[in-house]
């Protein structure tokens, strides 16, 4: 049996995905400032931040039978990262840019124990239909997506009504590439 997963994330979505996949885990969290080098390739930012979070949370491990799991997601459009919006105006502006465009979601993960670590990432392409300003404002006001990279969640209205295609996995876009987590964890 693989080591017990300690999920170092406050994200209810990540907990939900692990639960739905039948993967046993326990949540223990630590705060880490999410800063990355400005010249880092945008596709490498999420894995970099996942490793940074793991390094900052490794003290949460209590035995050799546990492995820490951390994750971070970013939304990329035209080579620029769109993280969690700071306010309503930024959320509306971000969704306005994403509207009618294809963007990339990268969710980086790190598994770490006392001896080794493994960093990997799920990548998905999201094709978003056009949204009117009124639709965007209504979504932001109803769902307040201030804790979501790219200002939306695939499991909410934007994902259900406005995404017409994805290339990659739904869980990657939701915040945890469960297929990759499972395969790496089983080899641990």
In the chain, which ranges are continuous DSSP H helix?
12-20, 42-57, 88-98, 133-143, 157, 170-174, 178-187
What φ, ψ does residue 9 adopt, rounded to 5°?
Answer: -155, 140
HSE-CB of 162 using CA atoms within 13 angstroms: 22
CA–CA separation, 124 and 65 (whole Å): 32
CA–CA separation, 15 and 11 (whole Å): 7
Q: Please name the helix (run of DSSP H) or strand (run of DSSP E) that holds residue 165, with its range, or none.
A: strand 163-167
Structure tokens that stand for 121 in this block? 């990432």
Is residue 87 annotated as a catalytic residue, yes or no?
no
CA–CA separation, 99 and 121 (whole Å): 25
Active-site entry in 39, 41, 64, 72: 72
CB 14 within 8 A of CB 153: no
Catalytic residue set: 72
């Amino acid at each position: 049996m693989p080591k017990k997963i300690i999920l170092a994330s406050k994200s209810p979505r990540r907990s939900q995905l692990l639960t739905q996949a039948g993967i046993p885990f326990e949540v223990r969290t630590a705060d880490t400032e999410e800063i990355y080098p400005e010249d880092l390739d945008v596709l490498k930012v999420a894995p970099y931040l996942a490793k940074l979070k793991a390094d900052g949370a490794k003290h949460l491990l209590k035995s050799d039978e546990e492995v820490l799991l951390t994750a971070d997601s970013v939304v990329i459009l035209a080579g620029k990262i769109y993280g969690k919006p700071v306010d309503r105006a930024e959320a509306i502006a971000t969704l306005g840019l994403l509207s009618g465009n294809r963007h990339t979601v990268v969710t980086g993960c790190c598994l770490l124990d006392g001896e080794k670590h493994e960093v990997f990432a799920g990548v998905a392409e999201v094709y978003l239909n056009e949204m009117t300003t009124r639709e965007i404002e209504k979504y932001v006001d109803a769902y307040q997506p201030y804790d979501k990279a790219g200002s939306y969640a695939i499991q909410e209205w934007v994902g259900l009504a406005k995404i017409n295609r994805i290339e990659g996995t739904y869980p990657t876009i939701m915040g945890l590439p469960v297929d990759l987590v499972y395969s790496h964890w089983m080899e641990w």
